[in-house]
Structure 1
Amino acid sequence: MSFPFVTLKTISNHQDLIIDLQSSELALQGTLKIPGDKSISHRALILGAITQGETIIEGLLLGEDPRSTAACFRGMGAEISPLNSDRITIKGVGLANLQEPIDVLDAGNSGTTMRLMLGLLASHRGRFFCITGDNSLRSRPMSRVVEPLQKMGAKIWGRNNNSLAPLAIQGHNLTPIHYHSPIASAQVKSCLLLAGLMTEGKTTVTEPALSRDHSERMLQSFGATLEIDPSTHSVTITGGTPLTGQKVVVPGDISSAAFWLVAGSIVPQSELVIENVGINPTRTGILEALAMMEADITIENQRVVTGEPVADLRVKQSSLKACVIEGEIIPRLIDEIPILTVAAVFAQGTTIIKDAAELRFKESNRLTAIASQLNRMGAKITELPDGLEIVGGTLLIGHELDSYTDHRIAMSLAIAALMAKGLTTIHRAQVVAVSYPKFVTTLQHLIK
């Protein structure tokens, strides 16, 4: 039986992912483990760096984004072991004891690193910090965290009316506030909770819908004092409580699992088991959306690991149906919308995705990126102001595509290419290392 030839080819300073579908006889079979959850990895590194004592992290994502976080905190005095295995040791500096760095902090491509750090740095009285990132990150809006921090008294300067990096921060005594966020954003919420961690009094964040709650869970496990009101989507932190080093076991990232859940659903005769996936209810929108599309997914071996619910996910190929994805589910699957768009291309009927304008401000404008590239392959996708309209059932043809230097776009296009006739080339595919360094080798191993 013939099957796709999948390889990375280095050209100049970038890599192209080439998928050459020589036969329609293709299946994905096997059991796999996915990289550690990126959101939890960031937060474990950040909190470990400001605790008293030692923090041990097992299962840390060894991608480029967590490496950026680790490098920033090393530059401010935390002792973090090399990220060359998934067991990391941190000796923290203690609360409010980050050192003034001798150089500019570089967040790389990581918006999480930059936005969460701003809350910490703004509350380090008397110290000066400057943070930047790569070309993509320097174009992403930071006003969503800068503005509420300024309401707390933060002193932050940057380009475009203090909304774009590089950003300069003068640490200052902050004042607690009750911030009503206009968007459900875990990054905004986490930034303000970290600012409140070192601010006398109670800082409260209220969201219009529930965003992922990894920060709340981890802050509590490290000893912070939090009050959570699920009925109003509010969380309050009381400042000044020291944190104590912990052991953190990072589950597999459901955002990474999403690529295999969709691949297993659309590629004929496929069956995959994805082990040790975090199924935090603030992140399981992808499972709910695929259930609405009638995907064949079974949740097995459910358990709790260091405060986070975990399970194995079994997926089999099925006939997907179109649906409408909107409202409060969106914050719980915002990172998975590119790969859900791929699923919708192979579903019967027309799928509508709404309330997702946030995607225009990620590593790329993800609505434009995924629609334009899939349309090049023959899909029928129309951009909406806040989402997409996807007509399912179209035949895809291999094409030259671009990743937009966005890891989730690159991987979503790779899954789509498994169902396209002919040769597909995805330019600048090395960006998958941001969150899934072994994505290509895993794909090669699963093809049967």
Structure 2
Amino acid sequence: MIATIQKGFLSGKIPAISSKSYAHRLLIAAALADRPTTVRCATVSEDILTASRVLKAMGASVERTDDGFIVEPVSTQPAYCGESGTIERFILPVACALGLDASITGHGRLPERPLSPLYEELRDHGIELSPQGVFPLKTKGRLPAGDYAIAADVSSQFIGGLLFALSVVPGTSTLTLTGRIESAPYIDMTLDVLALFGARITRSEDGRRFTVEGLERLRSPGAAEVEGDWSNSAFWLCAGALGRGVTLTGLRADSRQGDRAVVKLLEAFGAEVSMTEDAVTVRPGALRGMTVNAPQIPDLVPVLSVVAAFAEGETRFINAGRLRIKESDRLATTRQLLEDLGADVEEIPDGLIVRGRTALRGGACDGTRDHRIVMSAAVAGGSHLHTRRHQGRTGRSQIVSRLFRRLCPPRRTGLSGGLIMPYFGRNIRTAVFGQSHAAAIGVTIDGLPAGEAVDAVELEAFMARRAPEQNRMTTQRREADRPEREPIFRALAHRIITSRRLRTQFSRSSEKSRETSDHQRPQHQFSGHSRTGHLRQHNLQGPVRNTRDLVRRCRRLMRAFPVQP
């Protein structure tokens, strides 16, 4: 995939997608429950679908519905995890707890991503495992109750997987965490979901020891809902800090998701932030560098690095070493992304140092099959840059495509023969779509200043003056076509300009030219169809390459077809 993103400033109101992290945990808990569970999930990404397929392979019934899934609890077939480390690390101990002879496969970097120390802990408790890093990964044996210990500074997913597994192993088990606890909010999310499904888990005061009273089955609450995803929303919010302001709806301010910290971090950078019960708005401000301590929010580092590239002074991202074992080495790929776009960035063993600039040059960058790198590049591409191209496989297609639909919308209009022409302007941007003899021709306008009042009567009069045959500046053809006013007024709120795109079009009653014989064409009025040779003679054909080329063509046009007053 190659995407080209033009310089612009993202603004508007966007509903947050469903949290992938909560969706994974709710689906797995539902598959381990005692009765069917309805999991309401407003938006479904490829990773969530992969989780449902893996649970089906393990024997659960997962039915897709209009608003989510119906899951009937856990035949063993190969469980294909795609590139999702979360699914692999959760499913592996759960399969062992259920005593399944499981076969787990995947692709991309998944075979390279570490399973130690989880692998060793499962083997120490009697599970037979095939060699690590070789797919398919096969398991044999049933996990017993007992005392478990695991390092907490590699991946919180190991901890979450063991908590799910021990919750369905009859008897009392303990899980002790060693080393520094990283990504603690993800552990809290796992405990929230397990509590919803009736798991009996107590945690020590220092947070390092869990006592689990295992059950044969978890107890289904009947229905559960996936909340909005702070991790995905961070890209939009960062785009708002670099654009004209963005509002995300459907986000819980009291969420357990660690990436909700993006709000405080953007505020610390200098962006303007406001929150309501279920929405957050970020607007641009005077951005300044800072130090970001990243052990609890590593996934935010790539996109925050883009923000740092436009902040005054130096920004240091520290304690982010775990990014090296993600879908890509995200410290290296983030550094490469910023360098490709002209930023001043330095890679250090556990983080990055970014020295801000007011603008970057743009360029081509490779997504390296990592969706967070691609989406960070898209945010940079929609900001203070020249045109840039993103190439390479993008990874999580359903997550990425939503952002790209906003930043580089489809070029076709759906009208017969109609393509959107290039945008003109920087602050106020207009584009023409359709063709003069197609089903319609119209215009879109972006970037109008919000809050300005519009006089509807004056607007109607202004549009009427430009109707066919009204004056020498309008078409002399006697056609019945009139502009559609309703789309314009829909984009206004009580006759006040909002941040919405204004759009109107002339829908043609006939796709034939209806020039009549009883009107006189003014001198020098000409038809493009009859002057093709003249246009070619004066070098006026072909695509416009840049602004300078456009100016040259306008001058040639004026010389070729002089207009007399």
Same fold (TM over 0.5): yes
Cα 1:285/1:434, change in 2 over 3 Å: same
The answer on 1:134 being equivalent to 2:104 is: no
Q: Does 1:50 align with 2:32?
A: yes
Q: CA deviation at 1:163?
A: 4.6
Instruction: Output the CA distance in 2 between the equivalents of 1:55 and 1:340.
Output: 37
Task: For 2:235, give the aligned amino acid.
Answer: F
The TM-score, its normalising length taken from structure 1, stands at 0.84
Specify whether residues 186 and 292 from structure 1 end up closer, same or farther in structure 2 by C-alpha distance, changes over 3 A only: same
> Does the 8 Å CA contact 2:174/2:209 hold for their aligned counterparts?
no
Which residue, 266, 273, 278 being the options, matches 1:290? 266
Query: Does structure 1 conserve the Cα–Cα contact (< 8 Å) formed by 2:97 and 2:144?
Result: yes
* Counterpart residue identity of residue 426, structure 1: H
Is this contact kept in 1: 2:6–2:408, CA < 8 A? no
Q: Measure, in 2, the Cα distance between the counterparts of 1:28 and 1:346.
A: 16
Structure 1 residue 122 displacement after superposition: 1.5
Aligned to 2:241: 265
Partner in structure 2 of residue 73 of structure 1: 55
Query: For 2:63 and 2:446, how far apart are their aligned partners in 1?
Result: 36
Equivalence for 2:213: 238
Compared CA separation, residues 421 and 339, structure 1 to 2 (3 A): closer
Over aligned residue pairs, what C-alpha RMSD do you find?
Answer: 2.2
CA contact (8 A) 2:361 2:385 kept: yes
Quote the Cα distance in structure 2 between the aligned partners of 1:140 and 1:407.
Answer: 16
Give per-residue Cα distances to partners, 1:148-202, cap 9 Å, x unaligned. Answer: 32333332222xxx25543111132424224252416320111111221233212
Matched, 1:316 2:283: yes
Q: Is the 8 A contact 1:396 1:421 kept in 2?
A: yes
Q: Aligned residue for 2:78? A: 104
Q: Which moved more, 1:394-403 or 1:148-157?
A: 148-157
After superposition, the C-alpha distances for 1:322-343 in whole angstroms (9 at most, x for unaligned) are 11112xxx34311111111111
How many pairs are equivalent?
404
1:292 positional shift: 2.4
**Unmatched runs of 5 consecutive residues or more in structure 2:** 410-444, 448-565
Task: Give the aligned partner of residue 222 of structure 1.
Answer: 197
Partner of 2:128: 155
Are 2:85 and 1:114 aligned? Answer: no
Structure (1 or 2) with the greater strand fraction: 1
Q: Give the equivalent residue in structure 2 for 1:167.
A: 137
TM-score if structure 2 supplies the norm length? 0.68
- Greater relative contact order (CA < 8 Å, ≥ 6 in sequence): 1
Q: Percent identity?
A: 26
Rate the CA distance shift 1:433–1:233 in 2: closer, same or farther, 3 A. Answer: farther
Q: Choose the corresponding residue for 1:186, options 156, 163, 169.
A: 156
CA 1:444/1:373 → structure 2, altered by over 3 Å: closer, same or farther?
Answer: closer
- Residue in structure 2 matched with residue 256 of structure 1 by the alignment: 232
Q: What are the Cα deviations for residues 114-169 of structure 1, in whole angstroms up to 9, with x where unaligned?
A: 000011011223x31110101221221122421232333332222xxx25543111
Structure 1: any 5+ residue segments left out of the alignment?
A: 1-14, 94-99, 302-310
**1: distance between equivalents of 2:214 and 2:270?**
46
Q: CA deviation at 1:53?
A: 1.2
- Paired with 1:424 and 1:233, the residues of 2 have a C-alpha distance of 47
**Counterpart Cα distance in 2 of 1:333 and 1:282:** 10
Indicate the structure (1 or 2) with the bigger Cα radius of gyration: 2
Contact 1:286-1:332 at 8 Å conserved across structures: no
CA distance in 1 between counterparts of 2:390 and 2:123 reads 41
Following the alignment from structure 1 to structure 2, what is the Cα–Cα distance between the partners of residues 447 and 258? Answer: 24
Offset, 1:108: 0.4
